[in-house]
Amino acid sequence: MGKMSQDMCAQQAGPIAPAAEDALYRKVIWRIVPLFFLGFMLSYLDRVNIGIAKLQMAADFGFSDKTYALGASIFFWAYMIFEIPSNMILRKVGARLWISRIMITWGLVSMAMVFSRNATAFYCLRFLLGVCEAGFVPGVMYYTNSWLPAKRQSGMYSLFLMALPFAIILGAPISGAILQFMTGVAGYAGWHWLFVLEGLPAVILGIVILVMLRNKPADVSWLSEPQKRFIEAGVTTEATHKVGGVGAMLLNPRVWLLCVTMIMFNTGFYGLTFWMPTLFKNSGINNDFTIGLLTAIPYAVAAIAMRLYALHAERRREHRLHGTFPGLLGGICLFAATYYGSHFIFALAMLSLTTACILSLMPIYWTVPGRLLTGPACAIGLAMINSCGSFSGILGSLVVGYAGMQLGMYIMAAFLIVYAVLFFCVCPKTSIDAPAA
């Protein structure tokens, strides 16, 4: 082990031009990001298409907002419970096998949502979907930590997390169109077709990942041996400055603050995602396809904003203020959108800014765990933090369902402001010393 580590470090210390290093990491990013981008987009589509399906399911079964809110939140209870065990298994069996299993099973369960004939079946299938999908996001985060040092991850995360707005930009109009135009085809409701047509791609992509993904740099054929050693040396050298033990991780106050900040901003994201179609319908818009198109607008704005904002943060090599400001602005905009909700154009503009703010802070937020943790602490820490994100999915659905639309949105606006204060406290003051990948 000692000789190997010395050899790896020697490779890292050896002469390599900055341009060649940047090109190497770009090559790595563009090899692994597209698969995970598609997977992440499908995972969010499978989570949030319930917001579009509700437009018909509620009428078919007489679901109240409280019934829908509970069903939407049950997914996250399962996801939260099984997140850490899933990432521990991934660390043992490898990302290729486990991420493929996650995607295939969640796609099959999503398709099985067509059997939701009553509230009980709806709740059971939503819980099973959460069990199957648990571990995907922290698994991807852990996987990238074995390829990229933390200072190289923010550029990759800004690309990976763009799957969130794209899932809505593409998914909301497509879902609305399926509801509008597939109703009655072969005797099935539009929401039946919605779950089948949007669950099948996850199964297909899971098979593709099983064939194409490799667990570590040493396993791939598209890198030379010196390139493999250089990548592994970069990760190994950086790991010496991080928390690696699970016990030390659990005693680290920054990790717990990261859990709380995740709950704060992610509650706003899920609240908007779950309830925005209903908000538009309450404004008097009755065409499902139009609602899907309107729902896509805030996320289209956010897709552009989050990439540009991440690049700006990397150019300035400053993450603390860049992660704090969107929380403050997003909270103010969400409050304004709610208070002036009767002014549709203004409210839509404020909702777009709120969505852009929430999504723009995410790539910056996710660099912080990678700067603190490594090894088993990283696997369990990432799963623990993302489990808190799952809890925010529960809050995002239930807050509005039980407090009402207006008060619920005010609560989520307050959460965003609290996030901003806490992130300023938890984010390391030191700058990131590498340009964007």
Crossing angle of helices 405-426 and 344-365, rounded to 10°: 30
pLDDT of residue 232: 84
pLDDT of residue 243: 61
Provide φ and ψ at 241, rounded to 5°.
Answer: -100, 10
Terminus-to-terminus CA distance in the chain, angstroms? 30
- Geometric angle at alpha carbon 303, from 400 and 325, rounded to 5°: 70
Q: Dihedral angle at the C-alpha atoms of 370, 371, 372, 374, nearest 10 degrees?
A: 50
How far from 72 is each of 60, 65, 125, 388, 394, CA to CA, in Å? 17, 10, 11, 16, 8
pLDDT of residue 13: 41
pLDDT of residue 340: 83
Nearest to 352 by CA among 288, 295, 427: 295
Nearest to 323 by CA among 357, 353, 364: 364
Distance CA 292, CA 150 (A): 37
383 contacts 87 by C-beta, under 8 angstroms: yes
DSSP lists the bridge partners of residue 243 as: 373
How far from 136 is each of 96, 139, 140, 144, 165, CA to CA, in Å? 11, 5, 6, 12, 18
Compute the chain's Rg from CA coordinates.
21
The structure's pTM equals 0.74
Tens digit of pLDDT per residue, the chain (437 long)? 444 443 444 444 444 677 788 888 888 888 888 888 899 888 877 766 777 787 787 777 777 777 777 877 788 888 888 988 998 899 889 999 999 999 999 999 989 988 877 888 888 998 999 899 988 988 888 888 788 776 676 667 778 888 878 877 777 778 888 888 888 888 888 888 988 888 899 999 999 999 999 988 888 888 888 888 888 887 777 666 666 677 777 888 888 999 999 999 988 887 887 777 777 777 777 777 787 788 888 888 888 898 888 888 877 878 889 999 999 999 999 999 888 877 888 888 888 999 999 989 988 888 888 777 767 777 788 888 888 877 887 787 778 777 877 888 899 899 999 999 999 988 877 655 444 34
pLDDT of residue 239: 62
Nearest to 319 by CA among 420, 432, 434: 432
Go through the domains of the chain in sequence order and give each one's CATH number: 17-426 (1.20.1250.20)
